Amino acid sequence: MKGIIGKKLGMTQVFKEDGTLVPVTVVESQGMKVVQIKTEGKEGYNSLQIGFGDIKDKNVNKPKKGHFSKAQVENKRMLKEFRIDNPEEFEIGQEIKVDIFEEGEIVDVEGTSKGKGFQGNIKRHNQSRGPETHGSKYHRAVGSMGASAHPARVFKTKKLPGHMGHEKVTVKNLEIVKVDLEKNLLLIKGAVPGPKKGTVIVRKK
């Protein structure tokens, strides 16, 4: 298995052995446990269902409570599947730690970008504004909507104001600079999507 669910703690910087200063994102992965093992013979494919993040008992519905109780695992906030080739090497309730990765490995990091609310065209699509002087009444408005007589409609691909951010983003080919097994931390070179304390998924290339 080459994937973990973690919490983004923020960014810092570390020095490599050759003295190079590297900006890194710190990702913590505490209490990640195997909740279900799916096999090709029963479900049609091999995968591990992983639970991550503690949650109060009152916030879990009955079907999920039964699912966690069957696996004898405490309630988890998030469930995620990872495809594997060797399900027989894992056990239900087994804790997955960051030592499945090594320093220097290249990974993809998936997260939810920061939400920026409702934004106009200039911020959302990086469009240009109108002139600011000489009686102009066009400043930050949407540009031309297209011809009027034909096709007499606005195309679906027209860039308009709307909700910006808070969407799934994957940053590829990031290097793992350090693995801290004692504190269950990964130090990943560069920035990863999402706010501090946001949930991210780190996968091996």
Could you say which DSSP state residue 119 is in? E
Determine the Cα–Cα distance for residues 26 and 176; give it in Å rounded to an integer.
10
pTM, rounded to two decimals: 0.83
pLDDT of 78 over the 80 cut: yes
Query: pLDDT band at 119, cuts 50/70/90?
Result: very high
pLDDT of residue 205 exceeding 80, the answer is no
Domains of the chain from N-terminus onward: 1-29+97-125+158-205 (2.40.30.10), 30-96 (3.30.160.810)
User: What is the pLDDT at residue 133?
Assistant: 86
Give the DSSP letter string of 16-66. Answer: -TTS-EEEEEEEE--S-EEEEEE-TTTTSS-EEEEEEEE--GGGS-HHHHH
Q: What are the tens digits of pLDDT across the range 20-67? A: 899 999 999 988 899 999 998 898 999 999 999 888 989 999 999 999
